[in-house]
Structure 1
Amino acid sequence: MRRIAFSLVALLVLSVPAGPVQGQDGPEFTLESIHASATLRASTFQGGKWADQGPVITYIEAADSADATHLMRYNLRTDKQTRVIDGTTLHAGDVGRVVPIEDYTFGPAGDKVLIYTDSKEVWRANTKGYYYVYDLDAQTLTPVSDRDRGYQMFAKFSPSGAKVAFVRNRNLHVVNLTTGTETALTTDGDEGTIINGTFDWVYEEEFGVRDGWQWGPDGRRIAFFKLDESETRSFPLMNNTARYPDITTFRYPKAGEQNSEIKIGVVDLAAVDTTARGQPQAIQYFDTNTWNAGGQAHEYLARMGWTPEIDGTHRVWMYRLNRNQNVLDLLYGHPETGRTEPVLQDTQDTYIDVTDDKLTYLDDGEHFVFLSERSGYNHAYLYRTDGTELGPITGGEWEVTQFHGVDTEASTAYVTGTRDTSLERHLYATDVSLDAHEEAPPARKVTSRPGWHAINLSTDRDYYIDRHSAAGTPPSWALHEASGDRLTTLQANDTLEKRLDSLNLPPKQFTRLPGADGTALNASIIKPNDFDPARTYPVLMYVYGGPGVQTVTNQWGSSRQLWHQYLARAHDMVVVSVDNRGTGGRGKAFQDVSYQRLGQPESADQIRAAQALADSAWVDDANIGIWGWSYGGYMTLMSMLTEDGPSTFDTGVSVAPVTDWRLYDTIYTERYMSTPDQNADGYKNGAPQAYADRLREDQNLLIVHGDDDDNVHFQNSVQMVNRLQSANKQFRFMMYPTHEHGIAGGRTRLHLFTMITNHLTEHLSSDEPAQHTE
Structure 2
Amino acid sequence: MLAPIVFHELVGGTSKKQNWKGLGIAFIVIAIICLFIAAAILLTNTQQIHIDNKLLSLTEQDIFNIKVPKSWNGTWISNSYFSYVDTNDSIWIYNCDILEKEMLFRGDFIQQESVKYGIVSPSTKYVLIPVKKEKISSYYTNYQYDIYEKSRMIASIALVNETKRTVSAIVYSHSDHLFAFIDNFDIYVYNITRKSSYRMTFDGNRATVHNGLVEWIYEYEIFNRKTLLFWSPTDRYLAFIKINLTDVPKNYYLKYDFTLEHDDLYSIPYPKYNDPIPALNVFIFNTRTKKTIRVPQSNDSAKSNKSDMYIYHIIWYCDTCFAVVYGNRVQNTSTIQLYEIAYDKISFKSRYIEETSRGYLLSRFLKPFFSSLGPYAYIIRFDPVINGKAGQKAFPRVVRIHFNRSYPQIDVKSPEDINADEILHVDNLDRVYFTGFEPLNSLERQLYRWTHTDAVSEIECLSCNESCGYINAQFSLGKGNYYILECLGPSIPYSVLYNRMERLVLIDDNEPFREWISNRLMPSIEYFTVPLDEKNSIVGNGMIILPPNYNPNKTIASYPVIMTINDRLYDQRVTKKYVLPLDDYIQVIEDNLTVVMFDAHGSIGQDENYLKSNSQDWLERQYQDYIKVAQHLKWNEKKFNETLNDTRFGLRARGSAAVVALKLLEGQDEYICAFLQSPVYDLAHYYTTFSEHIIGLNGGMKSSIQLDVQNKSIAFVHGTADEIVHFKHSATLAKVLTDKQVNFDFKVYPDAKHNFEQNPVIYNDFLHYQRHFFQGCLGGRINKERKIVSPEEYD
Task: Indicate whether the TM-score tops 0.5.
Answer: yes
Residue among 239, 243, 247 paired with 1:227: 243
1:329 to partner: Cα distance:
0.5
1:383–1:423 distance in 2 versus 1, CA, 3 Å: closer
Give 2:157's aligned amino acid.
Answer: P
Aligned pairs for 1:27-38 (under 5 A) are 28-30=56-58, 32=60, 35=63, 38=66
Q: Is the CA contact (8 Å cut-off) linking 1:158 and 1:219 kept in structure 2?
A: yes
1:498–1:110 distance in 2 versus 1, CA, 3 Å: closer
Residue among 488, 492, 507 paired with 2:524: 507
Aligned pairs for 1:339-488 (under 5 A) are 339-349=347-357, 350-355=359-364, 358-362=367-371, 367-375=376-384, 376-383=394-401, 386=404, 388=408, 391-392=411-412, 394-396=414-416, 399-409=419-429, 412-419=431-438, 421-433=440-452, 440-444=457-461, 446-448=463-465, 449-459=467-477, 461-470=480-489, 473-480=491-498, 482=500, 485=503, 487-488=505-506
SS of the aligned residue for 2:769 comes to helix
Cα offsets for 1:292-342 (capped at 9, x unmatched): 55888x512222233315xxxx13311111110111101123444444344
Residue among 700, 708, 724 paired with 2:721: 708
Q: Is the CA contact (8 Å cut-off) linking 1:708 and 1:741 kept in structure 2?
A: yes
Work out the number of aligned pairs and report it: 702
1:136–1:390 distance in 2 versus 1, CA, 3 Å: farther
Query: In 1, distance between residues paired with 2:297 and 2:591?
Result: 63
SS of the aligned residue for 1:611 comes to helix
Aligned pairs for 1:105-504 (under 5 A) are 105-107=120-122, 110-121=124-135, 123-136=137-150, 140-143=154-157, 145-146=159-160, 148=163, 150-156=165-171, 163-180=178-195, 182-190=197-205, 192-199=207-214, 201=216, 202-240=218-256, 243-244=259-260, 246-272=264-290, 283-288=293-298, 289-291=300-302, 298-308=308-318, 314-335=320-341, 336-349=344-357, 350-355=359-364, 358-362=367-371, 367-375=376-384, 376-383=394-401, 386=404, 388=408, 391-392=411-412, 394-396=414-416, 399-409=419-429, 412-419=431-438, 421-433=440-452, 440-444=457-461, 446-448=463-465, 449-459=467-477, 461-470=480-489, 473-480=491-498, 482=500, 485=503, 487-488=505-506, 490-493=508-511, 496=514, 499-500=517-518, 503=521
Q: Is the CA contact (8 Å cut-off) linking 1:414 and 1:427 kept in structure 2?
A: no
Q: Is the CA contact (8 Å cut-off) linking 2:284 and 2:293 kept in structure 1?
A: yes
Query: In 2, distance between residues paired with 1:405 and 1:729?
Result: 55
Cα offsets for 1:558-612 (capped at 9, x unmatched): 025x735x55554443443332122110121111135454332112210122123
1:155 to partner: Cα distance:
4.0
Query: In 2, distance between residues paired with 1:747 and 1:670?
Result: 35
1:302–1:578 distance in 2 versus 1, CA, 3 Å: closer
1:71–1:557 distance in 2 versus 1, CA, 3 Å: closer
Aligned: 1:649 with 2:671: yes
Q: Is the CA contact (8 Å cut-off) linking 2:723 and 2:754 kept in structure 1?
A: yes
Matched with 1:609 is: 629
**Which protein, 1 or 2, shows the higher relative CO under an 8 Å CA cutoff with sep ≥ 6?**
1
Query: In 2, distance between residues paired with 1:750 and 1:282?
Result: 49
Q: Is the CA contact (8 Å cut-off) linking 2:141 and 2:168 kept in structure 1?
A: yes
Give 1:714's aligned amino acid.
Answer: F
Q: Is the CA contact (8 Å cut-off) linking 2:91 and 2:118 kept in structure 1?
A: no
Give 2:380's aligned amino acid.
Answer: L
C-alpha RMSD of matched pairs (Å): 3.9
Gaps of 5+ in 1: 1-20, 64-68, 92-96, 273-280, 769-774
Query: In 1, distance between residues paired with 2:108 and 2:648?
Result: 60
Matched with 2:44 is: none
Give 2:183's aligned amino acid.
Answer: R
Give 2:276's aligned amino acid.
Answer: Q
Query: In 2, distance between residues paired with 1:534 and 1:190?
Result: 60
Residue among 66, 73, 80 paired with 1:47: 73
Give 2:75's aligned amino acid.
Answer: K
Query: In 2, distance between residues paired with 1:264 and 1:36?
Result: 40
Give 2:301's aligned amino acid.
Answer: T
Cα offsets for 1:86-113 (capped at 9, x unmatched): 466679xxxxx99846231415x65344
Aligned: 1:630 with 2:655: yes
Matched with 2:734 is: 721
Query: In 1, distance between residues paired with 2:596 and 2:178?
Result: 56
Q: Among the aligned pairs, what percent are the same residue?
A: 16
Deviates more, 1:507-516 or 1:227-236: 507-516
Q: Is the CA contact (8 Å cut-off) linking 1:422 and 1:585 kept in structure 2?
A: no
Query: In 2, distance between residues paired with 1:609 and 1:208?
Result: 31
1:618–1:101 distance in 2 versus 1, CA, 3 Å: closer
Cα offsets for 1:109-152 (capped at 9, x unmatched): 65344555534556323254344443459763343542758533
1:77 to partner: Cα distance:
9.9
Query: Scaled by the length of structure 2, what TM-score is found?
Result: 0.78
1:183 to partner: Cα distance:
3.8
SS of the aligned residue for 2:94 comes to strand
1:154–1:81 distance in 2 versus 1, CA, 3 Å: same
Query: In 1, distance between residues paired with 2:435 and 2:498?
Result: 15
Deviates more, 1:344-353 or 1:152-161: 152-161
1:733 to partner: Cα distance:
1.9
Q: Is the CA contact (8 Å cut-off) linking 2:296 and 2:302 kept in structure 1?
A: no
1:122–1:230 distance in 2 versus 1, CA, 3 Å: farther
Query: In 2, distance between residues paired with 1:733 and 1:98?
Result: 39
Gaps of 5+ in 2: 1-46, 385-393, 637-641, 783-795
Q: Is the CA contact (8 Å cut-off) linking 1:511 and 1:524 kept in structure 2?
A: yes
Aligned pairs for 1:669-688 (under 5 A) are 669-675=691-697, 678-681=698-701, 683-685=702-704
Query: In 2, distance between residues paired with 1:432 and 1:670?
Result: 39
1:195–1:559 distance in 2 versus 1, CA, 3 Å: closer
Q: Is the CA contact (8 Å cut-off) linking 1:417 and 1:427 kept in structure 2?
A: yes
Q: Is the CA contact (8 Å cut-off) linking 1:548 and 1:584 kept in structure 2?
A: yes
